[in-house]
Amino acid sequence: MQTLTQLDPLRNAIAALRSRGPVALVPTMGALHEGHLTLVREARRHAASVAVSIFVNPRQFGPNEDLARYPRQLAADSALLEREGVELLWAPTVEAMYPDGYATSISVSGVSDGLCGAARPGHFDGVATVVCKLFNQVAPDMAFFGEKDWQQLAVIRRMARDLDLQAPRVSAIHGVATVREADGLALSSRNAFLDPAQRAQAACLPRAMRVAIAAVRQGSSHQAALRALTEQLLHGGFAAVDYAEIRDADSLVPLEAGEAGTPRLFVAARIGTTRLIDNMPLAED
């Protein structure tokens, strides 16, 4: 596996890989876990070569968020990727990504509004901007993202469609199903912040979500199911629920019971100072 931190060598390396067939990109912020490795394996099934980017993007963290404490473990991540047979690790420095004088931002309205966009102003501008740059840097034939960050995936697809991106085309931006621990907790780099007691309580999140989904399927109104979900989380040790909403899976417009669309449950809740997010379909997958 080649590890590169500067743009010129990256372009040469990508050109060499492309001569062997389609290239897939898996963008990450590092602190890799089984969820990321699932993306890598999925990429491998579709492409001749797999490139992974690791870049902790300062532009997607708010002033009071956890940029400084976000786990950075390039050596361990690199060993994991090597074991997966990844061809290229793109790990740009902050200066290579945002050189002096950098002044451009991409803002995707609509799908960025509400949910995580409400609690984290500017977050999705930071994500759209860095992902557009990563796409332009690597020019992959396809890219893979986790469905755990469903809204992020919707923002990236909207951006790719609206800007007529060619590498990758919007149809080659793949979402991969969330990987969960045995107790249902979605894998996330942020789970590392949980102490053992919080980690045990965190399983309340997927459990409460399944209860709410079952209630809606049995005829409960969305409002009543979401209220019960919030109470269950607060009783289960969560300090706050940022949002618990049912929205259309594609447009992310809020949905009431019986309204046309593909309803999906979205939750963000805090345990101690750690914010966990999850989403699940209301219909059986």
Q: DSSP letter at 236?
A: T
Instruction: Say whether residue 27 binds ligand PAF (CB under 6 A).
Output: yes
Nearer to ligand PAF among residue 169 and residue 207 (C-beta): 169
Question: Catalytic annotation on 123?
Answer: no
Catalytic residue, from 33, 36, 174, 222: name it.
Answer: 36
* Nearest partner of 143 among 43, 55, 17, judged by Cα: 43
Q: And the tokens for 167? A: 């590498």
Task: Provide the minimum distance between the beta carbon of 270 and ligand PAF in the complex, in angstroms, as a whole number.
Answer: 19
Q: CB neighbours (10 Å) of residue 15?
A: 11
Nearer to ligand PAF among residue 28 and residue 38 (C-beta): 28
How far, in Å, are 25, 120, 132, 199 from residue 81 at the CA level?
A: 13, 30, 23, 26
Task: Provide the minimum distance between the beta carbon of 219 and ligand PAF in the complex, in angstroms, as a whole number.
Answer: 36
Q: Total residues at the site for ligand PAF (CB under 6 A)?
A: 10
Round to whole Å and give the CA distance between 57 and 152: 14
The amino acid present at 263, given as its one-letter code, is P
Q: Count helices and strands (H / E) in the chain.
A: 10, 9
Instruction: Say whether residue 77 binds ligand PAF (CB under 6 A).
Output: no
Instruction: Say whether residue 28 binds ligand PAF (CB under 6 A).
Output: yes
- The site map against ligand PAF for 215-254 (x = CB under 6 A) is ----------------------------------------
Nearer to ligand PAF among residue 29 and residue 154 (C-beta): 29
Place of tokens 């991409």: 106
Q: And the tokens for 201? A: 């309580």
**DSSP-assigned letters across all residues of 243-259:** EEEEEETTT--B--TT-
Instruction: Say whether residue 29 binds ligand PAF (CB under 6 A).
Output: yes
Task: Provide the minimum distance between the beta carbon of 265 and ligand PAF in the complex, in angstroms, as a whole number.
Answer: 20
What H or E segment, with its residue span, contains residue 119?
helix 116-119
Contact 276, 218 (CB under 8 A): no
Give the one residue of 127, 185, 186, 277 binding ligand PAF; rule: CB under 6 A.
Answer: 127
- The site map against ligand PAF for 136-165 (x = CB under 6 A) is -------------x--x-------------
Active site residues: 36
- The site for ligand PAF (CB under 6 A) is made up of 27-29, 57, 60, 127, 130-131, 149, 152
